[in-house]
Amino acid sequence: MRIRTGDTVMIIAGKEKGKTGRVEKRFLEQDRVIVEGVNFVTKHMKGQPGVRQAGRIQKEAPIHASNVVLICNKCNAPTKPKTTFLETGSRVRSCIKCQEVIDDAR
Ligand SMILES: [Zn+2]
């Protein structure tokens, strides 16, 4: 998966298309991500002993990683990250358009 936790992404498919948000969580096995504030679903929780929250709660549902793209903080536009090496020898992800360094590649 190219997307990482903390990345700002745009949704490119489905009912939330065009929305942007920060990646809160990744589910590597399912290749899905939770994007903050996007793709809310209403879950109906049964009142059970020991469970305080009952009734309807709003919760972000995971989105498939192929339906989101990374947004460059500088261009403010969808981009593909490329891995480059700095003079210091460290590997970073950078924007293919403006060369802005997005973060350290791990
Ligand atoms: Zn850029």
pLDDT for the residue 51: 67
Q: Which residue has the tokens 């009142």?
A: 47
Distance (angstroms) between ligand 1 centre and the Cα of 96 equals: 7
With CA atoms as reference, report the closest residue to 105 among 88, 82, 75: 82
**90/61 Cα distance (integer angstroms):** 35
SS3 66: helix
Q: Would the pLDDT of 106 be above 70?
A: no
Distance (angstroms) between ligand 1 centre and the Cα of 71 equals: 8
| Model confidence band, residue 103 (pLDDT cutoffs 50, 70, 90) | confident
Q: Would the pLDDT of 8 be above 90?
A: yes
This model's pTM is above 0.75: yes
Distance (angstroms) between ligand 1 centre and the Cα of 59 equals: 31
With CA atoms as reference, report the closest residue to 105 among 93, 94, 89, 87: 93
| Model confidence band, residue 36 (pLDDT cutoffs 50, 70, 90) | very high
**59/27 Cα distance (integer angstroms):** 16
For residues 6-29, give the mean pLDDT. Answer: 95
Q: Which residue has the tokens 């293919």?
A: 96
